[in-house]
Amino acid sequence: MSENGIRLAGVIGSPIAHSRSPQLHGYWLRKLGIRGHYIPMDVAPEDLVEVVRALPKAGFVGVNITIPHKERVLEVADLISDRATLIGAANTLIFRKDGKIHADNTDGYGFLENLRQQAPGWEASAGPALVLGAGGAARAVVCALLDAGAPRVILTNRTRVRAEQIQADFGQRVEVVDWVQAGNAVEEVATLVNTTSLGMTGQPELRVPLDGLRPGTVVNDLVYAPLQTRLLQVAEEMGAVPVDGLGMLLHQAVPGFERWFGMRPEVDEAVRAAILR
């Protein structure tokens, strides 16, 4: 904390201009009447370690970490949570009073809370899950689904070897299928999650065949720009339960905010509307 009692936090990435986190944390700080600031910081990979080490001395209580630093930042941490270790990446740093840097990964928490909020009654244990993609977000999603009791996670990725690496890290409840076979798995799952960047503004559409989708299957797109992706539109038309990706972004921010600023913020319609404005 700085001398004047104002707590500082922020987000480090490169580029960082597109990040919605400053808007989100700024909204909560104002709403809760907390004396604090949340600052976006564009930091080059070669400067990451030096910048992170200097921040506590400048009054920072912690930071979020985003692309491309989520894996590399583990090098600076003195303590790494189990889930960040398993995922191999951190998105939240807490600068402790004893000088130690604690790294955590709250993406999986945000993913689960979003599903629980937007698809009430959803349970990971209801049946197998199909996860499309095997990047950083997929690792957090697979970890969360297994933790929450999914009996099996069927994983598919354009580059199969990345999916196989996740299977090697997370064990036999993860089953890898070829990207071109993904459509065949759709009918047996209770949960379907797109963790690829397909469907995002400026990216190609996701073309996995959804003919087998069962009514009631919970379909979550991590893409939140646009909010209503083609995947979610098709899911809705077929009687599935569409869940957009914005809520994950909002929920993953809660644990960091609470640790840094001492109050737990709400994820409600008002904050969604504020971020969408």
Contacts of 194 (CB under 8 A, 6+ apart): 132, 133, 206, 220, 221, 222, 223, 229, 231
Q: Which of 20, 162, 214, 230 binds ligand NAP (CB under 6 A)?
A: 162
> Which of 162, 214 has the CB closer to ligand NAP?
162
Q: For 253, list phi and psi in degrees, rounded to 5.
A: -80, -15
**Which residue has tokens 């690496």?**
165
136 is a site residue for ligand NAP (CB under 6 A): yes
Minimum CB separation of residue 101 from ligand NAP in Å reads: 22
Q: Which of 31, 57, 70, 100 is catalytic?
A: 70
In 3D, which of 80, 78, 76, 91 has the Cα closest to residue 12?
A: 91
Say how far apart CA 55 and CA 183 lie, in whole Å.
47
> Which of 7, 104 has the CB closer to ligand NAP?
104
Q: Which of residues 233-272 bind ligand NAP (CB under 6 A)?
A: 245, 248-249, 252
> Which of 2, 184 has the CB closer to ligand NAP?
184
Q: Which of 147, 165, 197, 272 binds ligand NAP (CB under 6 A)?
A: 197
**Is there a contact between 147 and 209 (Cβ–Cβ < 8 Å)?**
no
Say how far apart CA 121 and CA 154 lie, in whole Å.
22
> Which of 66, 217 has the CB closer to ligand NAP?
66
Is 70 catalytic? The answer is yes
Say how far apart CA 26 and CA 130 lie, in whole Å.
35
Q: Total number of residues binding ligand NAP (CB under 6 A)? A: 25
Catalytic residues: 70
Point out which residues bind ligand NAP (CB under 6 A): 107, 110, 133-138, 157-159, 162, 195-198, 200, 204, 222-224, 245, 248-249, 252
